[in-house]
């Protein structure tokens, strides 16, 4: 599953990736005007408008003995898409762990386990309110799909140039940071010198006791 996903993301099979990418974008864009049920029904009807006539055509050729009875979609029918018991257990465990982690993290942030993390969470939620005003969740999903199918390929093609730009940005940020630190050190008032400790008064030596004469 992971290898097939990477093949799609990196456009290793142009035809498959093109069909998946175009279908996802068109299907998601259609949700702006139609409901999900309507879009799904029309997609399935559109696919069957292609597969059904082709199946009837091959069946007619078989009746006329011009075709040895080859099914046009036999490779798709023989493709095993079922999950084994082990794969199912692994997927369920990963899903349960992900849900448990999300619930624990949200509970920790809402009930202020860490003040700093909760403040960051509040700022993030506040920014999401503005994002919700400017755009919708469906737009963000479409943008994410386009980014998934474009950014990895762009990084692979322009890897050297992108790394050079990242290093330049990091160097610029480090330079700005060092400049700010040097300015802060020059402006910061110097610490007042500690008062010198007063020398302790010299104590007179204890008088020696005279030995008693016998």
List per-residue pLDDT tens for the chain, 214 residues long: 667 778 788 888 888 888 888 888 888 888 888 888 888 898 889 889 989 998 898 888 888 877 777 788 888 887 766 767 787 888 899 999 999 999 999 999 999 888 888 999 999 999 988 888 888 888 888 888 899 888 888 888 888 888 899 899 999 999 998 888 888 777 766 655 555 555 555 554 555 554 444 4
pLDDT score at 103: 93
pLDDT score at 214: 40
* Token duo for residue 74: 């036999």
Query: For residues 203 and 200, what is the distance between their CA atoms, to the nearest angstrom?
Result: 9
* Token duo for residue 135: 């755009």
Query: For residues 114 and 137, what is the distance between their CA atoms, to the nearest angstrom?
Result: 29
pLDDT score at 213: 44
Alpha helices in 70-158 (DSSP H): 74-78, 85-110, 115-134, 137-157
Around Cβ 86, how many Cβ atoms within 10 Å? 8
- Which residues, including other chains, have CB under 8 Å from residue 141's CB and lie 6 or more apart? 28
pLDDT score at 65: 79
pLDDT score at 102: 92
Q: For residue 145, which of 12, 23, 7 has the smallest C-alpha distance?
A: 23
Burial-class residue 67 by CB neighbours within 10 Å (0-12, 13-18, 19+).
middle
């Amino acid at each position: 599953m992971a290898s097939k996903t990477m093949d799609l993301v990196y456009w290793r099979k142009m035809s498959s990736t093109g069909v998946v990418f175009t279908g996802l974008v068109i299907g998601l864009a259609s949700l702006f005007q139609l409901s999900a049920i309507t879009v799904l029904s029309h997609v399935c009807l559109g696919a069957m408008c292609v597969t059904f006539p082709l199946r009837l055509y091959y069946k007619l050729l078989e009746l006329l003995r011009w075709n040895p009875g080859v099914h046009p979609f036999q490779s798709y029918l023989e493709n095993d898409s079922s999950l084994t018991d082990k794969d199912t257990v692994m997927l369920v465990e990963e899903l349960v762990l992900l849900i448990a982690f999300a619930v624990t993290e949200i509970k920790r942030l809402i009930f202020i386990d860490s003040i700093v993390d909760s403040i960051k969470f509040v700022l993030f939620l506040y920014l999401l309110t503005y994002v919700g005003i400017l755009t919708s969740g469906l737009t963000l999903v479409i943008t994410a799909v386009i980014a998934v199918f474009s950014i990895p390929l762009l990084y692979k093609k322009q890897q050297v140039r992108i790394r050079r730009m990242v290093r330049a940005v990091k160097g610029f940020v480090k330079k700005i940071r060092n400049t700010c630190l040097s300015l802060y050190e020059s402006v910061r008032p110097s610490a007042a010198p500690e008062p010198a400790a007063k020398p302790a008064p010299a104590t007179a030596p204890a008088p020696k006791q005279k030995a008693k004469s016998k």
